[in-house]
Amino acid sequence: MSIRTSRTGALVLEDGRIFPGTPFGARRNAEGEAVFTTVMTGYQEVVTDPSFYGQIVCMTYPLIGNYGICDEDEQSRRPWVAGLVVREYCDQPSHWRAQGTLGEYLEGWGIPGLAGVDTRALTRHLRLHGTMRAVLVSDRTGLSDEELCEMARRAWTPDREDVVPAVRGERATFGPADAPHVVVIDCGVKHNILASLRRRGVRLTVLPYGARAAEVLELDPDGVVVSPGPGDPTQARQAVETVRELAHSGVPFFGICLGHQLVALAAGAKTTKLVFGHRGGNHPVKDLLTGRVRITSQNHGYCVEAASVPTEQGWLVWMVNVNDGTVEGLRHQELPVLSVQFHPEGAPGPQDSQDLFDAFLELVRQRWQARMTQPVLLAGEGV
């Protein structure tokens, strides 16, 4: 097949490394930050994860596309990756749920892919030198190596500005009116976060990124969730102020990934960029309170600096990454605030951490039940 023989494309890194390959998907160029993810399945969930906005993603698992594309597996309204790099692309999927090929799907959204790449060498290079600017070129004909490298050095990356507005959705409501009410601030929320909350019988109001604390509290929520999202958390300055007010409002609060980083910044801690990030479905995380280790799904390029967490103000490092010791969770000794750096909803990745939704919603139901049992004052009473 031509997919194996026409190596006209290339992934070019800003440090001069060039990885040749065969184009699939949209025949166009793309720019962004070159990263890798170690998930073995779930490529459709990867490309539709808003946290990958502006990134050219290398799949370390070698065979991609073999079970096709299915609408039910999407994690948002569209794919967000800037480009996709794989070792071997399968353009003849075999699965009873398949509704088309990965290549057709990417082409429909104008996203280029590159197959036949030595993804082991690429991954090792990024692990050693870190994520970096890159361009994915579908046809390098007539372009010299120096011209390609200059294109990579000039590539736009999502750490240059607040990119969350690019992926936020519209306001929406779900669930029964007589259930505990949770407000989700959509910084790039994944469908399985909403599904993980909805299957537990709560009422959801989804507000787009940019909502102020007063707007959230006017809805009289029993809990607030701030979702994952792309980019450098320090660029989301207004969101930090919103989270600071919400975290101190007394309403149960759950921050996930970017939401976790915003909690840390709101508390006065600092975030820093990881060398090559944590992206995959097999990262071990230890709960420092119980000693339990869970296998988690992760997708982030920044982390909270442990030494900067203001423990004197009641904040605790709750969980750490077993591989490198980075902060994976925070909680407060008095405030009903929980946050995790990883993705408890999985998709792709394990569902081992669904219990964290239960822990958060237990706080939500306690608040809701307390409010439901408060006596109603008649006119003139209590005056």
CA 120 to chain centre: 24
* Separation CA 204–CA 220 (nearest Å): 12
CB neighbours of 9 closer than 8 A, spacing ≥ 6? 20, 21, 22, 23, 112, 114, 136, 137, 138, 139, 140
Give the closest residue to 57 by CA, choosing from 108, 122, 138, 148. 122
Q: How would you classify the pairing of strands 18-25 and 112-115?
A: antiparallel
Tell me if residue 300 is catalytic: no
Catalytic residue among 149, 187, 257, 303: 257
* Separation CA 183–CA 235 (nearest Å): 23
C-alpha count within 13 angstroms, C-beta hemisphere, residue 278: 26
Tell me if residue 381 is catalytic: no
Between the alpha carbon of residue 337 and those of residues 175, 333, 360, 367, 379, the distances in Å are 23, 9, 9, 13, 36
Tell me if residue 257 is catalytic: yes
Between the alpha carbon of residue 348 and those of residues 42, 156, 269, the distances in Å are 5, 27, 29
Question: Which active-site residues does the annotation give?
Answer: 257, 343, 345
